Amino acid sequence: MKNKFNKLLNYFDNLNFKYKTAFLIFIIAGGMICIIILSQISIFTIKNDFDILFDKRTKSLMELENIKDTYAVNIQETLNDIEKKQISYEQANEVLKLGLEIINKNWDLYQNQIKVENKELLTTFIKLFIIKEENYYENNTLKSSILKNIDKKMQIIKELITKINLEKNDEFYSNLDLEINALSIYLTSLINYDLSLAINEKRNTDKIFNIILIFSIISIFIVFLFSIILSFYIINHFKHLHNSLEEKVKEKTKELQELNNYLEIKISKEVAQNRKKDIIMFQQARFASLGEMLNNIAHQWRQPLGSITMIIQSFQTKMSLGKLTPSFVEEKVNDALLLASNMSNTLDDFRNFFSPNKIKSEFSIKNCIEHSIELSKYFLNQEGIKVELKVRKDVKINSYYNELSHVFLNIISNSKDALSSNVDKNDRIIKIIVNKFKNSLVVNIVDNGGGIPKEVLPKIFEPYYTTKYKSAGTGIGLYMSKQIIEKHMNGEIFCKNILHKIKDDKVFNCSLFTIKIPINEISEKKNDK
**pLDDT tens per residue across span 255-293:** 888 888 888 888 888 888 877 877 776 676 666 666 666
pLDDT score of 450 more than 50: yes
The torsion of the CA quartet 231, 234, 239, 243, rounded to 10 degrees, works out to: -170
Residue 100 near residue 47, CB atoms below 8 Å: no
Q: What is the pLDDT of residue 5?
A: 63
Longest dimension (CA), the chain: 179
The strand pairing partners of 386, in sequence order, are 429
Q: What is the pLDDT of residue 429?
A: 92
pLDDT score of 473 more than 70: no
Confidence of residue 46 (pLDDT cuts 50, 70, 90): low
The amino acid at residue 44 is F
125 lies in a domain? no
Q: What is the pLDDT of residue 52?
A: 61
Nearest to 308, CA basis, from 288, 331, 335: 335
Residue 519 near residue 395, CB atoms below 8 Å: yes
65 lies in a domain? no
User: What is the CA 207 to chain-centroid distance, rounded?
Assistant: 51
Give the neighbor-by-neighbor strand order of the sheet with 429-437.
386-391, 429-437, 440-447, 506-518, 492-503
445 lies in a domain? yes
pLDDT score of 154 more than 60: yes
Tell me the average pLDDT across 377-394.
85
CA distance 203 to 111: 25
Q: Who's near 451: CB < 8 A, 6+ residues apart?
A: 497, 498, 509, 510, 511
480 lies in a domain? yes
- pTM value is 0.41
Nearest to 405, CA basis, from 432, 381, 373: 373
- Taking residue 476's Cβ as centre, other Cβ atoms within 10 Å add up to 21
Three-state secondary structure string covering 266-331: HHHHHHHHHHHHHHHHHHHHHHHHHHHHHHHHHHHHHHHHHHHHHHHHHHHHHHHHCCCCHHHHHH
Phi, psi of 268 (to 5 degrees): -60, -40
- Taking residue 34's Cβ as centre, other Cβ atoms within 10 Å add up to 17
152 lies in a domain? no
pLDDT score of 135 more than 60: no
Across 159-168, 272-281, 421-430, least confident range:
159-168
Q: Which tops the pLDDT comparison, 136 or 431?
A: 431
Phi, psi of 456 (to 5 degrees): -95, -35
Q: Which tops the pLDDT comparison, 471 or 339?
A: 339
CA distance 227 to 231: 6
| CATH number assigned to the domain comprising residue 372 | 3.30.565.10
Confidence of residue 296 (pLDDT cuts 50, 70, 90): low
CA distance 210 to 38: 12
pLDDT score of 496 more than 90: yes
Tell me the average pLDDT across 208-227.
74
Most confident region among 58-72, 209-223, 252-266, 299-313 by mean pLDDT = 252-266
pLDDT score of 366 more than 80: yes
Tell me the average pLDDT across 453-470.
74
pLDDT score of 58 more than 80: no
Q: What is the pLDDT of residue 152?
A: 87
CA distance 164 to 207: 54
Across 301-310, 319-328, 506-515, least confident range:
301-310
User: What is the CA 280 to chain-centroid distance, rounded?
Assistant: 48
Tell me the average pLDDT across 383-403.
88
Q: What is the pLDDT of residue 388?
A: 92
443 lies in a domain? yes
Q: Which tops the pLDDT comparison, 320 or 224?
A: 320
Q: What is the pLDDT of residue 102?
A: 86
Q: What is the mean pLDDT of the chain?
A: 76
Express each pLDDT in 325-355 by its tens digit.
888 888 888 878 877 876 776 666 556 655 5
Q: What is the pLDDT of residue 240?
A: 77
Tell me the average pLDDT across 444-473.
76
Tell me the average pLDDT across 283-304.
63
381 lies in a domain? yes
Confidence of residue 8 (pLDDT cuts 50, 70, 90): low
Q: Please state, in angstroms and as integers, the Cα–Cα distance from residue 366 to each residue in 305, 405, 432, following that order.
A: 31, 11, 10
Across 266-275, 404-413, 475-484, least confident range:
475-484
The domain of 492 spans 359-522
Tell me the average pLDDT across 346-366.
70
472 lies in a domain? yes
Cβ density class 388-420: b for 16+ within 10 Å, e for less: eeebeeebebebbbbbbbbbbbbbbbbbbbbbb
Confidence of residue 49 (pLDDT cuts 50, 70, 90): low
Confidence of residue 389 (pLDDT cuts 50, 70, 90): very high
Number of domains in the chain: 1
Residue 517 DSSP SS3: strand
Nearest to 87, CA basis, from 74, 100, 68: 74
Q: What is the pLDDT of residue 150?
A: 85
pLDDT score of 428 more than 80: yes
CA distance 486 to 465: 19
DSSP string, 164-230: --TT--HHHHHHHHHHHHHHHHHHHHHHHHHHHHHHHHHHHHHHHHHHHHHHHHHHHHHHHHHHHHH
Identify each DSSP E strand in 409-459 by its residue range. Answer: 429-437, 440-447
User: What is the CA 287 to chain-centroid distance, rounded?
Assistant: 52
Q: Please state, in angstroms and as integers, the Cα–Cα distance from residue 49 to each residue in 39, 124, 490, 509, following that order.
A: 15, 11, 77, 80
CA distance 118 to 56: 9
Q: What is the pLDDT of residue 470?
A: 40
